[in-house]
Each structure stands twice: as structure tokens, then as C-alpha cells.
Amino acid sequence: MNNFIVMQGRTYHEEKELGIIWSPQQDKGSNVPHSWQRMKEIKKGDRIFHYVKGNIVAISTAIDECIKASKPTIMQGHSQWNDEGYLVNVKYFELDLPLNVRENFNDISPLLPIKYSAFQQDGSGNQGYLYPCNEELAIKLLELINELNIYQINEEQLELSIDAVRRTENITLIHVISATELEAKAKIRLGQHKFRKDLLELWKNKCALCDINLTELLRASHSKPWKDCNNSERLDQYNGVLLCCNHDALYDKGLIAFDGKGNLHISSIICEENYMTYGLDKRINIQMHSKNKEYFIWHKKFIYKY
């Protein structure tokens, strides 16, 4: 199961009435924007978060895969779009209380991908139609939606029994939220287990920097983070390096990086007199694998803090 965010605006009510999402195939200049082309990635059972005027207002489930279909009659008034498009039949579940993205952006922004993010850095929505939603972002959105829509607690009743907590009557929405969250967490957990197993074998069960070989202290560090990867990159054993807890944290936060030759780079944030404390030596060159190169370069470009 994959997750997506659809930016609907004034088309939301029309599409909801029909139980669909729809986008053109090409613009007037015969170009194919990525947010329209992405419609073809939707499979039966995928989940979609519906964004309208600053808020996530609904969650839907894809009933079928994407098909080519002409613009629905009810949407003919949108003359700026070509008639031929992509259509997915979906089942909508509206939220009792919409989730305002800008108000919750401090929680959401760290999980947004660098490329193809549905939201801008000020919390407003990007132009376009359909955007990817990685599992970590989906889980966070579901947590925030859950807080708003599943349990409502009166502050004056906090010390009373559980009966004071009112569950909304929309049992179906509760099921959708729970199932989506469980599937997203399972996908991450299984992926991380395989990734770690592959990296332990590839790096011969020891930290690439300090040779610590106690398995309990070793971490499988992604070079290109989960949120920025496609499905194959997330499990690619070369998209990572095996590091001890200390060096994993430094790598994850961009305080160290490796170039295309395996040379260690240390952020200026770390004072040189503290290198020994962190087990760092700027002369280190790790025994990288050739397929690590593109991922190391990506990490150094986008994550590393010079």
C-alpha cells in the first residue's frame, strides 16, 4: 500500500460527489506535469489524503487502479484543462474536524521530502495535483487526524473515568485510520529489518569508521533518507553505511559525510579540538563500494552541514 496527497481546491466537491479523483493527461502545451503523471502509480487499496484550502479534509481508499478517462461532465466548466485525463475511483471518508497543515507544520515539515513535497516551507500547498506521501509522513498525519477526530477530551473532565472520553460515531473512519497506520508502520519495520541485515553483511558486521563490531551498537544508516527515496532506493543496501551509534547520529544529522571516494568530511559545526571526543579523523578514508558513490554524493549535497 502506498499513500498520496491530492490537492483539490475548488474541484473537491465535484470529485467527492462522483467518488473519484481526476487529472488531465497533458497541459495545453502537451507537457506532462509530474503531479498528473503520478496518477498512474495509484493501485487498488492505496490511501489518499485530500487537501483543500489549507486543510486535510478527508481520507480516501482507491477502489481500482488508475484508468484513462475523459473529463467528467460535472467538471466541464474547468476549461483550462484538456478533456483527456486520468481517473481513479475512490471511497471518501470525510473528517469531522479538518487538519490545518500550517497550524501543525512544525510536526509535519521534518518528514517532507526534498523533492516533490506537497507543501511549501511556509506550510502552504504547492501547485500541482497528486504528490507522494511517504510512510513516516502518513503516520504523522494520521496521528494528528486521530487526535482531532477520534477522541475529544474536555479539560475539566481529565480526572474523570474513561467514560468522559467521547468516541466519534464514525467507526468506519476509525478503521481506515487504524488500518492505514498499521500498514505504514509494518512497511517501515519490515523494510528496515531487511536493510539492516543486508548492511551487516555488506560491511562485515563492523562500523565503517571505527571498526566497532558489537552488533547491538551498530546502526544501518541511510544516506538518502526514507522520506526522499522511492521504493527501490529504500531497500538498496548501497543506500547506506553501517555505523556505530555515535557515528550514525553524526551522519543522520549531517555533521559528517563521505564523498564519492570514501573520504570523511566533518562539518564546521564540530570544533577540531573535539574530533577525538567523537572518534573522528579527517584523514579517514572508508572502504566504500562503488555503488555507494551516488548515495554518498546525494547525502553530502542535501544533508551535510558544511
Of all residues in the chain, the percent with pLDDT exceeding 70 is 93
Give me 206's grid cell. 563492523
Whether residue 12 lies inside any domain: the answer is yes
Q: What is the residue whose three cell numbers read 543496501?
A: 237
pLDDT (average), residues 33-45: 95
Label residue 179 by pLDDT band (50, 70, 90): confident
pLDDT at 302 over 60: yes
Per-residue pLDDT band at 31 (split at 50, 70, 90): confident
Whether residue 153 sits in one domain with residue 7: yes
Which amino acid, one-letter code, is at 238?
Y
pLDDT for the residue 171: 67
Return the residue matching grid coordinates 531497500. Answer: 235
pLDDT digits (tens, 9 = 90+) for 124-176: 999 999 999 999 999 999 999 988 887 554 444 444 444 434 444 456 777 88
For residue 189, being part of any structural domain is answered with no
CA distance 156 to 92: 34
φ, ψ (nearest 5 deg) of residue 21: -125, 145
In a domain, 177, yes or no: no
Give residue 41's pLDDT. Answer: 96
Direct distance between the N- and C-terminal alpha carbons of the chain, in angstroms, rounded to an integer: 37
Provide φ and ψ at 290, rounded to 5°.
-60, -35
99 and 239 together in one domain: no
* pLDDT at residue 288 greater than cutoff 90: yes
Q: Are residues 123 and 221 in the same domain?
A: no
Q: Among 23-27, 128-132, 167-171, 229-233, which is the least confidently predicted range?
A: 167-171
Containing domain of residue 213, as a range? 203-302
Q: Does residue 101 lie in a domain region?
A: yes
**Confidence check: pLDDT of 64 > 70:** yes
CB-CB neighbours of 24 under 10 Å: 20
Same domain, 151 and 225: no
pLDDT, residue 150, reads 72
Q: Is 214 exposed, middle or buried (0-12, 13-18, 19+ CB in 10 A)?
A: exposed
For 76-96, what is each residue's pLDDT tens digit? 777 677 889 999 999 999 998
Beta strands in the chain (DSSP E): 3-7, 20-24, 47-52, 55-62, 67-70, 84-100, 130-133, 151-152, 166-167, 218-222, 240-244, 256-258, 264-266
220 in the same domain as 127: no
Q: What is the pTM assigned to this prediction? A: 0.84
Mean predicted lDDT score pLDDT of the chain:
90
> Looking at residues 255-265, what average pLDDT do you find?
96
Residue 196 forms part of a structural domain: no
User: What pLDDT does 176 receive?
Assistant: 84
Specify whether the CB–CB gap between 170 and 125 falls below 8 A. Answer: no
pLDDT at 270 over 70: yes
126, 157, 188 - which closes a domain: 157
Three-state secondary-structure class, residue 257: strand
Q: What is the CATH number of the domain that holds 146?
A: 3.10.590.10
- Per-residue pLDDT, 12: 94
Mean pLDDT calculated for residue range 115-125: 95
**C-alpha grid cell, residue 275:** 574530533
> In this predicted structure, what is the pLDDT of residue 153?
45
Average pLDDT score over residue span 9-25: 93
Q: What's the pLDDT at 229?
A: 94
What is the pairing mode between strands 67-70 and 3-7?
unpaired
pLDDT of residue 160: 42
Q: Are 57 and 117 in contact (CB under 8 A)?
A: no
Q: How many domains does the chain have?
A: 2
50 forms beta bridges with: 6, 58
